Amino acid sequence: MSEDHRDPKKVKVRGSLWARLRAYFLAGILVTAPISLTLYLAWLFISFIDRQVAGVLPPNLNPNTYLPFSVPGIGLLLVLLALTLVGWIAAGYFGRLFIRLSEIVLARMPVIRSVYGAFKQIFETVLANQSTAFRDVVLIEYPRRGIWSLAFVTGKTEGEVQNLTEDETINIFVPTTPNPTSGFLLFVPRRDLIVLDMSVEEGIKMVVSAGIVTPPDQRPEEEQQNPRIRSRIKPVLDVLDGQGEAAAQADLAKRPNHDPIRADKAGEG
């Protein structure tokens, strides 16, 4: 009879070698996947802009016409130059006059004026140098007490909404996962907000990744050991348990003395 004798040392070496190769393979994916996806998305964006610009640019003004090969990024460069030129013209006297006249015309159009006004306010809020929109990441109790949601401050509440309440309220945007462009607008009292130390970029990464990418806590270790939010569920459960026990005792006190065992024996007799 032949027996399969295996050397434990050889088996251990093969196992450790396979584990190292597997770890190297996963490390290679972790290194190359983010870079590859970023470059691929950048290439798609640049190619899309180049195609759109090439469709409206006359052939005699397109540099690719005079080159034996296509140069990527020319369309994007032309778009950036065009936007810069428009901004330079708009900053002048005639540019401001043209914009003012255009807004007067748009204000007389029933549907277009609403769409234009909304987009203008959004872009002015996001791109303004002194804007505080999306500058803070906060934690709020939503959609009910005891459940916390990540949200972004979009500004201070003003107008009728603020005038109707005594509390100072803040405009809060609660994004959805994994698409942060949609979400809910909430008006939350300032005292109910817990401002986090993480940056807006870190908060967006956490929302998009559904919590897989969690930024580290940058606070001192002493603060990390002391929770800022005390548990509100345990006291409520204790109260409910006390109320339930008191109600059960009161219900038993109202019932007459009744022993089911004695009743069954009486029925048999």
**Band of the pLDDT at 189, cuts 50, 70, 90?**
very high
Measured from the Cβ of residue 115, the count of other Cβ atoms closer than 10 Å reads 11
pLDDT on residue 78:
86
Q: Calculate mean pLDDT across residues 231-245.
A: 54
Name the residue with higher pLDDT: 130 or 28. Answer: 28
pLDDT at 59 > cutoff 70: yes
Q: Check whether 152 has a pLDDT greater than 90.
A: yes
Mean pLDDT for the stretch of residues 26-40: 89
Q: Answer whether residue 204 shows pLDDT above 60.
A: yes
Q: Where are the domains of the chain?
A: 92-127, 137-215
CB 134 within 8 A of CB 141: no
pLDDT value at position 163? 92
Under the banding of pLDDT at 50, 70 and 90, the label for residue 267 is very low
pLDDT of residue 258: 42
pLDDT at 259: 43
Looking at the predicted structure, is the pLDDT value of residue 198 above 70? yes
What is the DSSP secondary structure assignment for residue 65, as one 8-state letter? G
**Number of continuous H segments (helices) and E segments (strands) in the chain:** 9, 5
The phi, psi pair for 184, rounded to 5°, reads -130, 140
Measuring CA to CA, how many Å separate 268 from each of 105, 257, 258, 265?
Answer: 97, 20, 17, 5
Residue 247's φ and ψ, nearest 5 degrees, are: -65, -40
Distance separating alpha carbons of residues 51 and 68, to the nearest angstrom: 17
Best-predicted range by mean pLDDT among 1-15, 16-30, 184-198?
184-198
Bridge partner list, 155: 171
| Residue of 213 and 11 predicted with greater confidence | 213
Other beta carbons within 10 Å of 75: 23
Among 58-67, 99-108, 122-131, 165-174, name the one with the lowest average pLDDT: 122-131
**pLDDT above 70: percentage of residues in the chain:** 77
- Indicate if the pLDDT at residue 20 is higher than 50: yes
Q: What is the mean pLDDT of residues 218-236?
A: 71
In degrees, to the nearest 5, what angle opens at C-alpha 211 toward C-alphas 208 and 216?
110
Report which listed range, 131-140, 161-170, 176-185, 220-229, is most confident: 161-170
Structural element, H or E, at residue 183: strand 183-189
